[in-house]
Amino acid sequence: MLRFILRRLFVTVPMVLVVVSLTWGLIRLAPGNFYTGEKPIPPAIEQNLRQRYGLDRPWYVQYGRMLGSVAAGDFGISLHYIGQPVNGILASALPVSALLGALSYLLALVVGVAAGVLAALRQNSRLDYASMTAAMVGISLPNFVLGPVLVLVFALSWYWLPPARWNGFGINLILPVVTLSAVYMAYVARLARSGMLEVLRSNYIRTARAKGLPERTVLLRHAVRGGLLPVVSFSGPALAFLITGAVVVERIFALPGLGNYFINANLNRDEPLIIGIVAFTSIAVLVFNLLVDVAYAFVDPRVRY
Amino acid sequence: MSGTDAPPPIAPASDAPAPDAPVAGTSLWRDARRRLLRNRLAVFGLVVVAIVLTASLVGPAIIEWTTGNTYDSIPADRSRIRALPPFTGVDGRFSWEHPMGTDILGRDILARVLLGGRISLMVGIISTVVSLVIGVAYGATAGYVGGRVDEAMMRVVDVLYAVPYMMIVIVLLALFGGQSPLGQLVLLFVSLGAVSWLTMARIVRGQVLSLKNQEFVLAARATGVRATRIVARHLVPNALGPVVVYATLTIPSVMLLEAFLSFLGLGVQAPLASWGSLAAEGVQNMAVFPWQLICPGATMGITLFSLNFIGDGLRDALDPQMRKS
Amino acid sequence: MRRALGVLLSRALSLLALSPLALSACAGPGGDGPYFGKVAPPEGQTLRYISGSEPESLDPQVATGQPEARIILSLFDGLTEYAPRTGEPIPALAERWDVNGDSTEFTFHLRTNARWSDGTPITADDIVYSLRRGLSPALASRNAYLAYGIENAQAYNEGAVFARERATGAFVPDPANPRIRLTLPADPEVRGEVLARLPGLADGQPDLDFVPVQPEDVGVVADDAHTVRVRMALPVPYFLGLVAHQFFRPVPRQAIETWGERWTDPAHIVTSGAFLLERWLPYNEINVVRNPGYWDEVRLDRISFYTLEDVTTMLNLYKAGEVDALYNHTVPAAWVDTIRPYKDYMDAPEASVEYLLFNVERPPMDDIRVRKAFNMAVDKVALAQYRRTAKPLSGFTPEGIFPGYPQPTGDPFDPDRARALLAEAGYAGRDGAWDPSTFPIADVALTYNTAETNRQLAEFVQAQWKQNLGLTVPLRNLEFRTFLTVRNDRDYSGLARGGWAGDYLDPFTFLELFSTPAGNNGTGWFDPRYAAMLDAANREGDPAARYARLADAEAYLLDAQPIVPLLTMATNWVKKPYVKGLFANPVTMHAWKFVYIEHDPSNWDLEDPTPR
């Protein structure tokens, strides 16, 4: 197991290299530049700008410099947010995204697994139908609809909660966390239910029951572990996405997280910032997926590496 | 449903067993269909989807024929260029002309929702097919072969996850985004297909990984069944539950992704709209013209609901372990 | 079956249940009160204002956008300031000024009691330093073009050279404008070409030295510690309005030389304005507090600039009483009818326009008759009516902004004439009448950048052409920077969307857009005669005669029809009744020192006592 983890961590380095290089190439291919504006700028000023940011150098020099910055873990200075170090931006946006993502994931996991497992244990009961209907509503209501609806009800009609803005850990987070987790909660509930149903019919559960194990032990020690496998494999992408891709929620609730920066960095062709966020998130994706694979081995004894 | 208790219909020629398949193969599909048709929710879902599909195919023509409204007709009469609530005429009284009201440009929302249905359903179906075909094949191969191959294949998926999708779309558009509407549509499907299979591949791989050491697979392998056949006949069918569930989850997320892509300039061009873009517009005006959100939102919601009933029904019907029921 | 129906019904009901709620939400907590949403003044003299996107920079000379300008105006004082009601220039760092007869020299007399936030006095040297810095090639400011009217400013910014006769040491004067020196491109090849075209110079060429233009050559001089003289290359009658612009606001040499690019960090920044930078939380808020050392009265203790982008979120925050005022263009067309009845709504014409550009280089839009037909076939009155706030535009400069400007009108809405023109251009059937099927519609599209308002505008215009010409022009939306690249490179066919907000209150800020050589304005249209007409107008000493000449030039532009004028925009924002000193001025730039919070509700509806 340890060898497996080390090997995967080792693979991370070339992976990040590939991702960052592809991204760098894409930025070069995209039309427009960070300085493209409403009014075409005079060629002389454009020349000055390119010189100032080293864009007049040959591509391999620029590429090398980019790789160097990634290797050093210092992504340089943003082109759009003039003079601001990318590392500083990441440091300010990451806690916001991490808190938002982690809370949403926890909420989704706790509620989703509970609902899914209970629904599976009492298949076709009222509880099953109710929780699966709720899950369907969660999935069918995109977060750009759910968020504003929640705001309309809780912030603008009843004036219970603030409609937007980041204010650290506090009530400002309630609406965004609920909005962000709703879809995942629903996913998790449905995946958990179907996974559980599958497992409950499997031979090893039958064997466990036949052995005369108490139902509680059968469920908790055997069924839940196997039944949550789809949830676990969904967790890697979900966690990575929750932490890096909460763009819509960040916009609706005006939260200064990574997603907001990332969209704008793309639109602004802000190369150092894009590279910084991509390098960071690709490491995050790889680590989460690794965690998922490790969790697999723990949850499901059938899986071997 | 009246047809539920009737004997299963005789299989048409297309459902006849393939020459090399044993007779049991037929009854699998026939069984599945019988079970599906016995599932009331699934049948209900089928009916609703059929209605929505038919309505979006022929509805716009009927509306144009009866009221003259099309999805893009902005009234020439200046006083009519405004948002009217459902079933309301310009004079504020009841009228049949706009059952879902109009948007701020005075366009009939019903016509827009129906036409949007064509796009959204097409987007949903094509992406689901792509995610099923590529994702399942890819994930199953990686999971079954295992070892280095699995490792490499999954790292490719990881890379695709990590490269900024938005940049890919911007570049795709810059390179191939000509002005032909057909080219745009192809580009849209390529862009949607490119991402929709990634998570599916991971899920299938996970399932196969846990299934491949089970007795029935080991038995098949021991008796010399070819690998492709083991994957196709034993592993994939047993992993179908999560696959079908995830596929039905893919549809809404792809419909929303389409709305986001239109922000970048990909996707259908205005004045055409999809359910996603109509809902996005409705959200902005939610507090002023709620019907602009409720009408497309409810249509989309009901359709997604029904698709999920079908999905659940399909899963139960296809589940090899449920054969006896 | 019954269960499924129940599920559906409950879902439908839950959605429908929102509608009465949503409607009641419009009325706000005060029921039918005169104000929109919650009205609760913040404690003390604090203003919470939404300023738009996260600023690129707080360096006045580097930042280009309006979101930045809104904040910078609180931190940095200008020689002149925008008057709160009109946006006209009023004294600030400069107590008074003199202008010579032909507007080629401006002398600013600085007040003696103005200080930087670190205590050092603000002197004429600071003004000179700042302008030179703003124009320096190394800074590469994208706003440098604003100062190009100043003598040698453009040459310095572009790294150009003077020509000096080796024998006499005298600089060669500009043949077109002998008052100033000739400047030439630094690149010898290009320079050779330019020289070859200049009469009477080619023969003397070998005797010329080429001297780079130095910062000292820029026409800004400190006569003494509190007097600055700015010399113009050409008459610039609108210069006073321009110097309130952020680009002309002096920057602190001491901080810039110590900290370099990072001088705007809250820890390092040195400012001159009514407020001091206290805290900068990216994508969240920027706090400024009253500057106790400021020379003028400041009424607010603190401003929190909230940086966010989503319009619906802004209106939500506003309605919930979490912010006190928004920036301009923040009320979507759909909301205007709902919000206009409240006293919060700030509506006034603004110095900005929306229009469409033709790519005149590609057929069929190279034919002026086709362009005129496309213009005449759009009913701009109906467009303005749907937009609720904007006014129809038939000229190119915004209507109702420049008092005394004899604005020309373009062609009126006339579908019959449009069809006739198209037939005349050769798109006619056998009977000689306009036949849409002969028109190469595949070569035409309307390109715009992604935004809800842009899309609706495009859809409206498309419907107009469909109704009036029988042509369905395809729409094509692009992400902002792709769009700008496509438009600037004229890589589009047919039409593209354009919008322009004036940099200062003068028609020239609009007309100038189309005087750029080589058609570098998105349309490919360039006419030396037009540029000459603008030049001649600016040389005119008498303001009325100048306006008349500018209007002639505008009429000439409209006649060539490289554009379809659409709308004069409106300010279109909201503020709470307790916010005073904040007005809907045509530039939507606010001098924050005049703003205050009125805690006494009985004064809310009275005439605002702020002068000017």
pLDDT 10s digits, C452-502:
889 999 999 999 999 999 999 999 888 888 899 899 889 899 999 999 998
DSSP C611: -
Of A181, A179, A200, whose CA–CA distance to A189 is shortest? A181
In a domain, A84, yes or no: no
Specify the pLDDT at position B84. 85
Please name which of B259, B65, B264 lies closest in space to residue B171, comparing C-alpha atoms. Answer: B264
Which chain B residues touch C460 with a CB distance below 8 Å?
74, 105
Q: How confident is the model at residue C554 (pLDDT cuts 50, 70, 90)?
A: very high
Higher-confidence residue of B80 and C99: namely C99
- Mean per-residue pLDDT for B191-202? 84
Mean pLDDT of B74-98: 83
**Contact between residue C149 and residue C232 where contact means Cβ atoms under 8 Å apart:** yes
Q: Which tokens belong to C436? A: 């849409």
- Do the Cβ atoms of A290 and A223 come closer than 8 Å? no
* C579 and C555 housed in the same domain: no
Task: For residue B271, give its domain range.
Answer: 37-73+108-322
Are the CB atoms for C148 and C129 separated by under 8 Å? no
Average pLDDT on C279-304 reads: 94
- If we measure between CA atoms, which residue out of C557, C567, C560, C566 comes closest to residue C408? C557
A186 lies in a domain? yes
Residue C318: inside a domain, yes or no? yes
Within-domain flag for A298: no
Are C18 and A162 in contact (CB < 8 Å)? no
Lowest-pLDDT range, B67-71, C3-7, C57-61?
Answer: C3-7
Taking contacts as CB-CB distances below 8 angstroms, the residues of chain C near A32 are: 481-482, 484-485
pLDDT score at B18: 40
DSSP code of residue C572? -
Question: Average pLDDT, stretch B91-106?
Answer: 85
Q: Side chain identity at B21, as an amino acid letter?
A: A
Task: Give the model's confidence band at C439: pLDDT under 50 very low, under 70 low, under 90 confident, else very high.
Answer: very high
Cα–Cα distance, B258 to B275 (Å, whole number) = 9
Both tokens of residue A184? Answer: 């995942």
Q: What is the pLDDT of residues A246-281, one digit of tens each?
A: 888 888 898 998 888 888 898 899 999 999 998 888
Where residue B292 sits, what CATH number does that domain have?
1.10.3720.10
| pLDDT confidence of residue C268 | 93
As given in the structure block, the two tokens for residue A305 are 């590496």
- The answer to whether position C612 is within a domain reads no
User: Domain of C381: which CATH number?
Assistant: 3.10.105.10
Beta bridge partner(s), residue C355: C498, C565
With 70 as the cut, is the pLDDT of residue B10 above it? no
What is chain A's alpha carbon radius of gyration, rounded to the nearest angstrom?
Answer: 24
Q: Which residue has the higher pLDDT, B27 or C45?
A: C45
8 Å CB contact between A273 and A261: yes
Contacts with C475 from chain B: Cβ below 8 Å:
269-271
For C113-157, how does the pLDDT look when each residue is reduced to its tens digit (9 = 90+)? 999 999 999 999 999 999 999 999 889 888 898 999 999 999 999
Contact criterion met (CB < 8 Å) for A159 and C281? no
**How many structural domains is chain A composed of?**
1
pLDDT at position A301: 64
Q: Does residue A74 contact residue A212 with C-beta atoms inside 8 Å?
A: no
The pLDDT value given to residue B126 = 85
In a domain, A78, yes or no: no
Are C522 and C588 part of one and the same domain?
no
Instruction: Tell me the residue range of the domain where A143 lies.
Output: 95-267
Q: Average pLDDT for residues C260-288, to the nearest whole number?
A: 93
Residues of A in contact with B299 (CB under 8 A): none
Model confidence band, residue B253 (pLDDT cutoffs 50, 70, 90): confident
Q: Residue C47 forms beta bridges with which residues?
A: C303
Please report whether residue B9 resides in a domain.
no
pLDDT at residue number B21: 41
Q: What does the alpha-carbon distance between residue C594 and residue C298 come to, in Å, rounded to a whole number?
A: 7
Q: In whole numbers, what is the pLDDT of chain C averaged over residues? A: 88
Sign of CA dihedral A217, A222, A227, A229: positive
Closest-CA distance, A44 to chain B, in angstroms, reads: 26
Q: Is B263 on the interface with C (CB under 8 A)?
A: yes
A52 in a structural domain: no
Under an 8 A CB cutoff, do A155 and C320 touch? Answer: yes
Confirm or reject contact between B228 and chain C (CB < 8 A).
no
Residues C467 and B105: their CA atoms lie apart, in Å, by 14
> Chain C closest CA to A75's CA: distance in Å?
16
How many other C-beta atoms lie within 10 A of the C-beta of residue C346?
A: 21
Please say whether the beta carbons of C58 and C67 come within 8 A.
no
Tokens standing for residue B9: 């219909």
**How many Å lie between the alpha carbon of B26 and the closest alpha carbon of chain A?**
24
Please state the φ and ψ torsions of residue C230, each to the nearest 5 degrees. Answer: -115, 120
Is residue A87 domain-resident?
no
Return the pLDDT at B320: 62
- Specify which of A234-238, B87-91, C272-276 reaches the highest per-range mean pLDDT: C272-276
A19, A137, A202: residue with CB nearest B159: A19
Question: Is the pLDDT assigned to residue C13 strictly greater than 60?
Answer: no
Kindly state whether C381 is in contact with chain B, defined as any CB-CB distance less than 8 angstroms. Answer: yes
Which residues face C289 on adjacent strands? Answer: C276, C302
Please enumerate in sequence order all residues whose Cβ is within 8 A of that of C478, keeping only pairs 6 or more positions apart, or say none: B173, B265, C447, C448, C449, C450, C486
Q: Is B323 on the interface with A (CB under 8 A)?
A: no
Number of domains in chain C: 3
* Whole-angstrom Cα Rg for chain C: 27
pLDDT at C111: 95
* Chain A CB contacts of C320 below 8 Å: 155-156, 159, 162-163
Same domain, yes or no: C470 and C586: no
Q: Between these two residues, B232 and A24, which has the higher pLDDT value? A: A24
CB-based contact A303 B210, cutoff 8 Å: yes
pLDDT at C600: 92
Residue B93 lies in a domain: no
- Looking at residue B321, what is its pLDDT? 60
Helix (H) / strand (E) element for B210: namely helix B198-211
Provide the 10 A C-beta neighbour count for residue A242.
Answer: 25
Cα-only R_g, chain B: 23
Query: Helix, strand or coil for residue B94?
Result: strand
Quick one: tokens of B195? Answer: 């991402």
The nearest alpha carbon in chain A to C263 belongs to A83
B194 pLDDT tier (thresholds 50, 70, 90): confident
Q: For residues A279 and A221, which has the higher predicted lDDT (pLDDT)?
A: A279
Q: Which residue of C has its CA nearest to B103?
A: C334
pLDDT at residue C234, rounded to an integer? 85
DSSP lists the bridge partners of residue C596 as: C580
Mean pLDDT of B232-260: 79
**How do residues C363-384 score in pLDDT, each as one tens digit?**
999 999 999 999 999 999 999 9
Chain A: touching chains (3 or more CB pairs < 8 Å) = B, C
Q: How confident is the model at residue A302 (pLDDT cuts 50, 70, 90)?
A: low
- Assess whether C130 and C10 both reside in one domain: no
C-chain residues within 8 Å CB-CB of A90? Answer: none
A19-42 confidence digits (pLDDT tens): 999 999 999 998 888 888 877 777
Q: Give domain status of residue B251, yes or no.
A: yes
In a domain, B299, yes or no: yes
User: Which range among A256-265, C40-49, C222-231 shows the weakest confidence by mean pLDDT?
Assistant: A256-265
Q: Is residue B99 part of a domain?
A: no
Size of interface A-B (CB pairs under 8 A): 145
Mean pLDDT of the B226-246 span: 79
In sequence order, which ranges of C83-238 are alpha helices (DSSP H)? 124-135, 153-157, 188-197
C306-330 burial, b at 16+ Cβ within 10 Å, e below that, comes to bbbbbbbbbbbbbbbbbbbbbbbbb
- Co-location of C397 and C499 in the same domain: yes
Residue A150 lies in a domain: yes
Q: How many domains is chain B built from?
A: 1
- In this structure, the answer to whether residues C587 and C550 fall within a common structural domain is no
Domain that includes residue C114, residue range: 89-248
CA distance A55 to chain B (A): 19
CA dist C97 and C543 (Å) reads: 18
- Read off φ and ψ for residue C229, nearest 5 degrees: -115, 130
Percent of chain A clearing pLDDT 70 (strictly above) = 97
Least Cα separation, residue A298 to chain B (angstroms): 12
Is the pLDDT score of C1 beyond 70?
A: no
- From chain B, pick out residues whose CB is under 8 angstroms from the CB of A289: 154, 158, 202
Whether the predicted pLDDT of B299 surpasses 70: yes
Same domain, C15 and C34: yes
Chains near B, with 3+ CB pairs < 8 A? A, C
Q: Would you give the distance in Å from CA C340 to the centre of its chain?
A: 25
Q: What kind and span of H or E run contains B31?
A: helix B23-38
Tell me phi and psi for residue A27, to 5 degrees.
-60, -40
| Chain mean pLDDT for chain B | 79
**Same domain as C210, residue C280:** no
Whole-number Cα distances in Å, A136 to A110, A142, B120, B305, C341: 17, 11, 18, 7, 41
Closest residue in chain C to residue A50, using alpha carbons only: C140
How far apart are the C-alpha atoms of C454 and C593, rounded to whole Å?
35
Lowest mean pLDDT: which of B7-21, B244-258, C243-257, C281-295?
Answer: B7-21
CA–CA distance, B175 with B183 (Å, rounded to integer) = 12
pLDDT of residue C203 exceeding 80, the answer is no
Of the ranges A127-131, B108-112, B185-189, which one carries the lowest mean pLDDT score? B185-189
Same domain, C529 and C576: no
Residue A109 belongs to domain with CATH number: 1.10.3720.10
Chain B closest-CA separation from residue C344 CA (Å): 17
Percent of chain C with pLDDT over 70: 93
Q: What is the pLDDT of residues A142-191, one digit of tens each?
A: 778 888 888 888 888 888 888 888 888 888 899 999 999 988 888 888 88
Give the DSSP H or E segment for C311.
helix C311-319
Q: What is the full DSSP assignment across C499-530?
A: EEE-SSSSTHHHHGGGG-GGGTTTT----HHH
Angstrom distance (rounded) from CA A64 to CA C163: 41
Residue B236, CA distances (Å) to A161, B136, C120 in order: 47, 8, 77
Chain A contact present for B286, CB below 8 A: yes
Residue A161 lies in a domain: yes
Residue B142 pLDDT > 60: yes
Reply yes or no on whether the pLDDT at B1 is more than 50: no
Q: Which residues of C touch A42 (CB under 8 A)?
A: 145, 157-158
Q: What is the CATH number of the domain that holds C158?
A: 3.90.76.10
